[in-house]
Structure 1
Amino acid sequence: MGDGSVRLPAIILAGGQARRMGGGDKGLLELGGETLLSRVLARLEPQVGPIALNANGDPARFESYGLPVIADSLPGFVGPLAGVLAGMDWAAELGAGQVVSVAADTPFFPRDFVSRLQAGAGDAPVTLAATPHPEKGSIRQPTFGLWSVDLRDDLRAALEQGLRKVVLWTDRHGASEVVFESEAGDPFFNINRPEDLVEALERGAWT
């Protein structure tokens, strides 16, 4: 990052079932000659230290990316918080105090995403990215965050008790947020449906 900040570990969340895309791995879909995962990696690598991929099933399909592949520790595809927990556990094993999360289907996220989260975190144990909204003020992006690994046992217990909504858990811990604005469109635009791939291609420039 070039400013003396600690280079944090990061987890790319790719553990979803992609039902609206007909199943499979959204990160392996091609967009403008490269996979979504390749585009996400290109944005993320300059901002962080070690990177792992959270994905379920046979890890061999991601072998060409050279990343450690970490499955959810809870069965049944319980949502993105399970991937965050996997990242927390992995980061704790590395001796890190925090881990960054990004989604594997979001190719336009900011190139200064991590440094801005760090700058805006304050004392909060969780900091989420957000985008401005004319009526709600802002909308949080629950898969893009900075997470204290000290919360991993609390998160594990919450998931085992049935909690699934990210913001319910993050609000419980006084999460802060950093708002990202962009004149080029939503920086956290994600690929959920086939038509989203078309829109992403039309958006074009990978800046």
Structure 2
Amino acid sequence: MVTEATVLVVDDETEVADVYALRLRNEYETETAYGGGEALELIDDDIDVVLLDRRMPDISGDDVLEAIRDRELDVRVIMITAVDPDFDIIEMPFDDYLCKPVDKDDLVAAIEQQLAARRYDDRLTEYLETTSKLALLEAEKTPQSIEDSDEMAQLQQRAARLRAEMDDALAEFEDIATAFEEIGRRPG
């Protein structure tokens, strides 16, 4: 069953990129790029998660990552590489880092973690905006005017819905965190 998420697999080794895409095609919409230049042509806001090789001859994964962040695209980036991490990764703005080889279950778990975090982030922002408006109106308006306001009732319902969605997303995130602990990783 393919979910609504689109994953871009970026690796200069065509066989590696094709294997990862094949592993994921029943889970997500998948696209492949066989190098950094091709990746930069394909990456846009329709991509949800990028699986990015770090060492590529034309444009490195580090440079592709920097370009993604410079474009301010709303995309999660998982570095998948044979390059062992060093202290240089501390300042790199990726969302997760996996060392090759990565099996399908670990790959899917990493993608699901990023999708859950992305959903949670969006809801958190909207929830904070909504509750801020509620608090302001509750401080400024009389209890009777709040009770009589359809707009206020809708805002309160929206806040309750967002809170429930965040609780669901957090539960999903915790399930993924548990899965990562079971495979010996910590969520990123």
Structure 1 length normalisation: TM-score? 0.29
State which structure, 1 or 2, has the greater radius of gyration over its C-alpha atoms: 2
From the two aligned structures, give the one with the greater helix fraction.
2
Higher relative contact order (CA 8 A, sep 6+): 1
Structure 2 length normalisation: TM-score? 0.31
From the two aligned structures, give the one with the greater strand fraction.
1
